[in-house]
Amino acid sequence: MTVVVPCFNEESVLRETHARLVRALRAGRGVTYEVLYVDDGSTDDTWSLIREFAAGSEHVRAARLSRNFGHQAACLAGLRDATGDAVVLIDADLQDPPELIPDLVSRWREGWSVVSARRTERKGEGALKRATAFAYYRLLNSMSDHPVALDTGDFRLLDRSVVDLLGELGGQELFLRGTISWAGLPETAVPYRRDPRAAGTSKYTLRKMLELSRCGIISGSALPIRATAAAGLVSAAAATVVGLARRDFGTTRWAYSLGVQTLAIGVLGEYVNATLRHAQDRPPFVVGERIQRSRTASAPQPTIAAGVAR
Ligand code: UDP
Ligand code: MG
């Protein structure tokens, strides 16, 4: 198993994180593990700490991104580098308790491809952050064809089949949670209490939060552009009907022309959307399970294989 830890300027907390991670992973008997730190362009002592951990343990690997690419990109870098048959994504600031990892692993062993950690409580996060997160995820789910589970973040375990799928896809407009729910593989959740950050301050600035929110909507929903086209169509049609009824198009001309222009933007948006879907490079389907028959006469039993195929 690989535990991927994206880190951006986490020098104040990383020592404690490493100690708790190692303790929790050692406690999970029978699991061979590696911890893969991804330094997302830190400008503090994060990388020297990671080097120190790697020098002291053969279980530690690390990658340092050339600059700050953002949390989702750092997670993807970790997923592409991970070698484990399951991968856990966990924040570096101890808001996600490492002690939950053995629980995630035992659900995975029951056969779940994705085991999310679901927050039952969020301590130490401001009312504004909680309220905007609450509203945003409900808005996103009402728009998206593949809703993401509420009250879950990126703290989750992914089976190798999911990791391979995510690693192969286009890495732009990245919103891992959305892609995971799009894949539609068996997903379950383990509840936990989200602690406050152990030290330091949030590395998710308002700009990064807005960027993530934008990616969530753009990568998972065509509704904004469809709504634009529909509004244009309705406006142009209504202006035509009213004009015909009054036998006078003078007063409705502006509504008609605005409607046609809006519709044209919506149509253009459909083409842009098709290009985006192409760039996302998602496979047309994901195989969840297969029943295969052995070709040798001596072993006529069907074998059931779970996994993802392109
Ligand atoms: N992070 C990152 N790159 C960034 C911002 C954050 O790798 O540009 C990491 C950060 O070090 C932490 C995780 O992403 O491990 C979550 O960030 P943070 O705890 O600051 O976000 P919050 O919990 O406040 O939303
Ligand atoms: Mg945090």
Q: pLDDT, tens digit, for every residue of 161-199?
A: 999 999 988 778 899 999 999 999 999 999 999 999 999
Domain residue ranges of the chain, discontinuous segments joined by +: 2-220, 223-285
- State which residues have CB under 5 angstroms from ligand 2, the bound ion: 91, 93, 95
Helix boundaries (H) for 221-292: 223-246, 253-280
The first and second tokens of residue 23, run together, are 């303790």
- Ligand 1 atom with the smallest distance to the CA of 129 is 25
Judge contact between 55 and 20, C-beta under 8 A: no
Ligand nearest to the CA of 72: 1
pLDDT digits (tens, 9 = 90+) for 194-238: 999 999 999 999 999 999 999 999 998 999 999 999 999 999 999
Q: What is the DSSP letter of 195?
A: P
- Ligand 1 atom with the smallest distance to the CA of 40 is 7
* φ and ψ at residue 254, rounded to 5 degrees: -65, -40
The residues facing 121 across adjacent strands are 193
- Residues in contact with ligand 1 by the CB-under-6-Å rule are 6-8, 10, 40, 68, 70-71, 74, 91-93, 95, 202-204, 208
In testing the pocket of ligand 1, which one of 12, 64, 71 has its CB within 8 Å of the most ligand atoms? Answer: 71
**CATH number assigned to the domain with residue range 2-220, chosen from the 4 options 3.40.250.10, 3.90.550.10, 3.40.630.10, 2.40.128.20:** 3.90.550.10
Going by alpha carbons, the residue nearest to atom 13 of ligand 1 is: 91
